[in-house]
Each structure stands twice: as structure tokens, then as C-alpha cells.
Amino acid sequence: MKLVKFAAAFAAAAGMLAVGTTGASAESTLEIVKKRDILRCQVGKPSPGFYNLDAQGNWYGSDVAVCQAIAAAVLGDKNKLEIQSVSTQARFTAMANGESDVLSRTTTWTLLRDTQLGLDFTAINFYDGQGFMVPKGSGIKSALELKGATVCVLTGTTTELNLADYNRKNNLKIQAVTFEDNNVRDDTYLQGGCDAITNDKSGLASSKAKFANPGEHVILPETISKEPLGPVVRQNDSQWMDIVKWTVYALINAEELGINSKNVDEMRKNPPNPSVGRMLGAEGNLEKGLGLSKDWAYNVIKQVGNYGEVYEAYMGGGKLGIGIDRAGSPNALWTQGGLQYSPPFR
């Protein structure tokens, strides 16, 4: 019954989005952003690793870094940025009606979302998969031991649908306890209101990092879904889609080429090979099709860093990181057995 209600609400939202897209497409996003001189980038509610707030109210995280990289590419300054914290339920509407220029948050690329909401996914900046977290004291070692359990889950998400599929496939008789806010979900779990939480495994690591006693909780080994995450733009604006997509690729390609925020000045001044020269604007004219300045990729790397720097700072072992090991994971570079791969800059 819950799934039927969700499907109806989703269909209604899709209808509203289709209407909103028309109004937002009169002027290109690049023109709007340049005229405003501020990029409006949408994230979710604070979540360690991806998007969070420091004591001064400044946003930081891997998805925030993508926002900053786009601002640096388009406006030459990563700080020409307005971060919008939007609820899960309102995220697609805010994109389609033009309130946000780009969505950079933990949003899974699916066929339905890519074809029926007036939106386009651009590039994958984080490969994830759904799992379960339980109290260590429960003694549960596998998700298949959750028969009859109550499981906390965010509503209106692929997570909720994946849970229903996994439950039915394995006849676990799981009772889903749904929430609209991840903080309320986590508090309910900590107070014993459900036996487990299900979310993307990175999201579980993010929640665990916030707990007073993270060592008392364990993420189970099963991965029950594919969750490719990446920034989203409105449909029918191919130039803006290219800008966002190639900004993500610039982060990845810079790491492939050994360019980082510390050596980018020297690399641009004395490119060690043609690939570096083309990417950093020292030769060629790759910027023309994007409608950006010659130094757009240089600005991205100088101000934000490469993919590896961003990952280590926020997702890995950096001071603000949440401790997700990149080595051996899909988020390693393709040269190191992972899936992170940039098309050629040529």
C-alpha cells in the first residue's frame, strides 16, 4: 500500500516537473548564471562526507566541492556560490522549475529519473550501493538475518524501493519504518525504534560518523543495489550539461595526469606533455565548445583540487573525512582497478 501511494505521488510530482521545465528553459543556464554572477547549487540536509556545515555555517564536503568546481569553471571563483539545502521530497521540483542551477547531492541515476522528470544526469562522481547498519550488540552478521525486523528508511527514495524488492525476494517479512528526515530516522534508530537502518553504504558511514559511539554500530557486508551518484541538470540545455559533466571529468582527469592543487601552476607554465597542456589551456582551444574561459580547468584544480584530493579530504581519511577506504573500490581510478574514468581532453 505504501508503494502505491508513493508511485501516485511520484507521478504527480513528475507532472509538475514537466510544467516547470518549460518556464525554466527560456534562457540558457549558462547565461542565467553569468548574469547573476552566482551559481545556485543544491545539496541535501547536512550529511558528513557529502555536505555538512562547520561552526561558522560554511558548507563543505565532496558534493559541495563539485559545486565549487562548477563555480570556479564558470565564474572563475569557487566562492561565487549559493548552497541550497533542499529536502529529498522537493529536490527534483526545485531543479526543474529553475530554483537550482545544478543538483549535487546523493541522488541515484535511474532510468525513470533520467527520462521522466525533465532532468539529465551528467557524470558519476561516486559509485555506491545500498546496505544495512545494526547495533553491534545485536549479534546480527548478515542482512539475511533481519527476518521480521523493523528497518528505518527514508521515504521517496530508491532506498525504500530497493528495500521492498530485497524483502520480497528473500521473504524476510521486514517492516519498513519510513521517515522524511535522515536526522529523525537516525535518532529513532538510536533510541531503539527500529532494528536496523538501510541506506547507501556511504550514507550509513556518514550517519555512523555522527553517532556519539560509532564503534557500537556495524555496517553489514551485503550490498543490495547499484547506486551511481552524480550531479543533475535540467533537460534541453546541452551546453550546461557539458559544462557540469566536463567539470567532474576535469577533477578525475587531473588526478590521472598527476595534476593537483599544489603543482597546477608549474604544470600550466611548463606542461610535461600535450595532454596536460590541452587540459590546462596552455595550448589548443578546448574551452570554445563549453563557452568558458581558457583557464576554466586550471581554476577548478587550483581552487578545489583533483578528484583524489577531494575524496581524501571528505570521504577518506582526512580530518573532515568519514573513513571510506578508496583503494580497491569502484571509486578508485581505472588505472588502479576502479571505475573512475575520464574521456580524453582533446
Q: What is the pLDDT of residue 39?
A: 98
The CA distance from 163 to 151, in Å, is: 9
Q: CA-based angle 331:332:333, to the nearest 5?
A: 115
The CA distance from 200 to 187, in Å, is: 18
Three-state DSSP class for 234? Answer: strand
For the segment(s) 2-127, the CATH number from 3.40.50.300, 3.40.50.720, 3.40.190.10, 2.60.40.10 is 3.40.190.10
Pairing of strands 175-179, 52-53: unpaired
Contacts of 150 (CB under 8 A, 6+ apart): 174, 175, 176, 177, 193, 194, 195, 196
The CA distance from 199 to 203, in Å, is: 6
Superfamily of domain 130-225: Periplasmic binding protein-like II (3.40.190.10)
Whether residue 47 contacts residue 182, with contact meaning beta carbons closer than 8 Å, is answered with yes
For each successive 10 residues of the chain (346 residues), what is the average pLDDT? 33 42 67 98 95 96 98 98 95 95 96 96 97 97 97 94 97 96 94 97 93 96 96 97 98 98 98 97 96 98 98 96 94 97 96
Three-state DSSP class for 74? Answer: helix
Which grid cell is 302? 587550483
Q: What pTM did the predictor assign?
A: 0.88
Q: What is the pLDDT of residue 107?
A: 95
Q: What is the pLDDT of residue 22?
A: 41
Q: Where in the chain is the domain with CATH 3.40.190.10?
A: 2-127, 130-225
Which grid cell is 82? 549559493
Residue where the block lists cell 588502479: 336
Q: What is the pLDDT of residue 26?
A: 75
Sign of CA dihedral 207, 318, 67, 252: negative
Whether residue 46 contacts residue 85, with contact meaning beta carbons closer than 8 Å, is answered with yes
